[in-house]
Amino acid sequence: MRIALFGTSADPPTAGHQKILRWLSECYDWVAVWAADNPFKSHQTPLAHRATMLRLLITDIDASTTLNNHTPRQNIALEQDLSSFRTLETVEKAKSRWGEETEFTLVIGSDLLNQLPRWYRVADLLQQVQLLIVPRPGYAINESSLQAVQNLGGKIAIASLTGIDVSSTAYREHGDTEALTPPIVAYIHQEHLYKCQDATTKRYQLR
């Protein structure tokens, strides 16, 4: 069994995350996704809200697939209990659940490639997983970064997919709702999660 492990800060999850999940579902037997706290980032929204938004994003994939008369694969699941501050602990949880014989692939965006050598016990981590790098616009994959990870024992593949040029940061900083899917926008408004959302709402109310 081949399982893709995809943890993301999801602050908030975007249409770019959704595209990646669709692609992974076509390439792997199972796609395990969770909202995570990244020690290299500060997060605006509590983890529970980010996990709920990821669940909405996954549900929306199945709904839109059915709407387009395709049979959803239903092999993407929010596995929030895998979430850990340390990715190595996440992999240990995954091995405990699915067994030592399962082939695990850790999925990261190209924006994380440079920081990967600083992750906790990264050499131990790279012995237990394959590594799939998803290219992101604005974050080129350079040979020196790849070599640094390979020198640590990393077995690297690069996804034949380029993420959509949208980001969670674009929403948080500029209120760019083009980056988000409608269910996520509705949830953010319902829960009043981001300052940019409140500012946008107030602008509409003043018109």
131 with 108: CB under 8 angstroms?
A: yes
Q: Coil, helix or strand for 198?
A: helix
Q: What pLDDT shows up at residue 157?
A: 97
Task: Note the pTM of the prediction, 2 decimals.
Answer: 0.88
| Residues 82-139 pLDDT 10s | 999 999 999 999 999 999 899 999 999 999 999 999 999 999 999 999 999 999 888 9
Inform me whether the pLDDT recorded for 55 exceeds 70: yes
Q: What pLDDT shows up at residue 169?
A: 78
Q: What pLDDT shows up at residue 205?
A: 39
153 with 175: CB under 8 angstroms?
A: no
Per-residue confidence band for 158, with pLDDT thresholds at 50, 70 and 90:
very high
Residue 137: half-sphere exposure toward Cβ, Cα within 13 Å:
6
* DSSP state letter for 135: P
Distance set, CA 27 to CA 16, 49, 83, 178, 182 (Å): 17, 28, 22, 27, 26
| Residues 3-46 pLDDT 10s | 999 999 999 999 999 999 999 999 999 999 999 988 777 777 99
d(C-alpha 104, C-alpha 94), whole Å: 8
Q: Which of 14-18, 70-74, 79-83, 174-178 is predicted most confidently?
A: 79-83
Give 2-166's CATH code, choosing from 3.10.20.30, 3.40.50.620, 3.40.50.720, 3.40.50.300: 3.40.50.620
Q: What pLDDT shows up at residue 162?
A: 76
Q: What pLDDT shows up at residue 176?
A: 72
Per-residue confidence band for 203, with pLDDT thresholds at 50, 70 and 90:
very low
**Average pLDDT of every residue of the chain:** 88
Q: Which residue has the tokens 């990967």?
A: 116
Q: What pLDDT shows up at residue 40?
A: 75
d(C-alpha 18, C-alpha 178), whole Å: 13
Beta bridge partners of 106: 5, 131
d(C-alpha 203, C-alpha 79), whole Å: 38
Q: What pLDDT shows up at residue 63?
A: 77
Q: What pLDDT shows up at residue 204?
A: 35
